[in-house]
Structure 1
Amino acid sequence: MDMTQLRRQHDEISHTAHRLAQATADRTNPRSVGAIRWQLARQLMAHLALEDRILYPALQRAADDRTRTTAATLQTETGALAESFSRYMTAWSDDRVAREWADFCVETQAIIRALSERVDRENRTLYPLADKVDDSAPRIARAG
């Protein structure tokens, strides 16, 4: 299991979330943020799909009970965050963003905080466990 792509995706998600946070920092000056929001949504969907397809199944097969338990807990939490993000994207059309800019900014800052905390937690907790699972996997010798 190569964690490079997942870590790169975390960096991209964090960068885009930061751009969105900057764009919504001024609650009095509406800005066009649709492209940034959809970029973040695409990045997040691709990342979650990769985690669900590769990372979580591998961690659920780990020999270490702590790894399996931590992965199961975080996977459940991820599902809740993904649902919150989906509701956020659905609730805020471009027209509504323009009409209710200040409220949009508040909700956007909250969702960005939740995403940032999640990325940080995965980087600190989940990915080191995945690295250990990866490091402990038997290596396949190449035929000479």
Structure 2
Amino acid sequence: MDLDELRRQHAEIGLTARALERAVAEEYQPEGVARLRWQLARQLLTHVALEDRIFYPTLKRSPEASTRDHATALEKELGALGERFRAYMTDWSDMRIGREWPAFCVETRLILDMLMERVGREDRLFDTLSQRRGIDRSPAARSA
């Protein structure tokens, strides 16, 4: 399992989230908001696919029941956050954003807070797993 790749993706998600956060801090809708939203959505889709394919299945095969339980709980929570993000992307069309800029800003800050809180918890989990188990982060592990 390549935790470095997951961390790299978290860093990219964080950069895009902060750019979107700065955009929604503006009084009037700046150019590029739609691009940032879709960039974030693409990054999340890529990241979640990797977690679903490699990270969570690996944790769920752990010999430790607490690790398996933790992985299952995080995976369920991720599903709920994913649904919330999908609804956010669907509900806020470009036209609606233009009409309801202040409400969009509030909703965007809320979803970004939830997202970044989740990323932070995953980063702490990656650190714990790396330290406790010495998970192989070598290039050979990437093909696993």
TM-score by length of 2: 0.88
Q: CA deviation at 1:133?
A: 4.4
Which runs of 5 or more structure 2 residues have no equivalent in the other structure? none
Aligned to 1:22: 22
Seen in structure 2, the aligned counterparts of structure 1 residues 129 and 62 have a Cα distance that, compared at 3 Å, is farther
- Contact 1:13–1:44 (Cα < 8 Å) also in 2: yes
**Structure possessing the higher radius of gyration over alpha carbons:** 1
RMSD value, Cα: 1.6
Aligned to 1:114: 114
Aligned to 1:38: 38
Q: CA deviation at 1:36?
A: 0.3
Seen in structure 2, the aligned counterparts of structure 1 residues 53 and 134 have a Cα distance that, compared at 3 Å, is farther
CA distance in 2, matches of 1:61, 1:130: 14
Aligned to 1:4: 4
TM-score by length of 1: 0.88
Deviations 1:50-92 (A, max 9, x none): 0000000000001111111111111100000000000000000
- Contact 1:30–1:98 (Cα < 8 Å) also in 2: yes
Higher RCO structure, 1 or 2 (CA under 8 Å, sep 6+): 2
Which runs of 5 or more structure 1 residues have no equivalent in the other structure? none
